[in-house]
Copies of this chain bind each other. A is one copy, B any other.
Amino acid sequence: MKNFTTLKDISNLSELIKEAILLKMNPFEYSEIGKHKTLVMLFFNSSLRTRLSTEKAAKNLGMDVMILNVNDAWNLEFEDGTIMNFDKSEHIKEAAQVISQYADVIAVRAFPTLTDKAKDEGEVILNSFKKYATVPIVNMESATAHPLQALADAITISELTEKKTPKVVLSWAPHPKALPQAVANSFVKMMQDLDVDFTITHPKGYELNSKITKNSPINYNQEDALKDADFVYVKNWSSYNDYGKVLNQDNNWMMTKAKLGNAKFMHCLPVRRNIVVEDAVLDSDQSVVIKQANNRTFAAQVVLKQILEDL
């Protein structure tokens, strides 16, 4: 693997999932593969799971890890040709080339603005690193995508499904803040690549980018969409069309035990209890969110392993 910035970087999904599950059974089997190799993790935004699981994954492979909260340095300029006389001290051209000399792999977390759709869709930060860095780039959640999360989700469904073709529903949930579409986007794409019967349900106005949802059915009736589901992935996102806006906080869209039926409950976390989903769901055996989070380590580990093998 040369980079892992989008799900398109996966050449064989089912093999990758199998390999991740093998790593989970024996996390230290390849603890020499990363010897004298350094992962630099760059955070433009907050992180808990992604930070700890990616660091852990790298160390399981014997890598050294260096972490930089970009706030501990200074603001970077991403536009070409600017006269840098304001608040940006360094251009990404220099930063990416320089960090590449200290790293064998660079992982980047950079959330969207949610105010500048063109900039977000252009994935300016992630793509600038990809353009100027001279080492592989791993996406730790970018403006429009969270492929490591989606890979962990696919591993989780593969491990837990009792059917060849389970029914999977992505169900929007209310949230007080405007959140990115990244997790939902990557989950949709991943479901399109997996052998599942997939449906999306959300209030009108919350349509994701239609280039992503393509042929995936959208059902505005949550109850109907959830019928006979095997896995229900609940997630809030802000409006894509009315970009970055919170149009609806209707708590009828909250996931409840009653609505869930016999399905397994999935969420990427962090999750706001009794806003996105009621306690009764999270505290039941039907919730697999903790297992999902555990698979973040092995999603990152299989990606880093494949990148290290191709260095």
Contact = CB atoms under 8 A, between A and B. Distances in A.
Contacts of A55: 66
Contact of A98 (B66, B68, B98, B290): B290
A47 interface: yes
Interface residues of A, number: 62
Interface string A271-300: 111110001001100000110011001000
A74 B98 contact: no
A188 interface: no
Contacts of A98: 48-49, 269, 290, 293-294
Among A64, A273, A283, find the residue whose CB has the most chain B CB atoms closer than 10 A.
A273
Contact of A269 (B31, B81, B94): B94
Interface string A221-246: 00000000000000000000000000
Majority secondary structure of chain A interface residues (helix, strand, loop or mixed): mixed
Contacts of A275: 83-85
A36 interface: yes
A139 interface: no
B273 A84 contact: yes
B271 A82 contact: no
A12 interface: no
A38 B56 contact: yes
B46 A274 contact: no
Interface string A64-94: 1010110011100100111111101111011
Q: Rank and list the top 3 A-B pairs by shortest CB-CB distance, nearest first.
A: A90-B270, A48-B73, A84-B272
21 contacts: A27-B36, A48-B95, A51-B68, A51-B73, A52-B99, A56-B102, A74-B270, A82-B273, A83-B274, A84-B275, A85-B275, A88-B272, A89-B272, A93-B282, A94-B271, A94-B290, A95-B270, A97-B290, A98-B293, A98-B294, A101-B293
Interface of A: 27-28, 31, 36, 38, 40, 43, 46-49, 51-53, 55-56, 59-60, 64, 66, 68-69, 72-74, 77, 80-86, 88-91, 93-95, 97-99, 101-103, 176, 269-275, 279, 282-283, 289-290, 293-294, 297
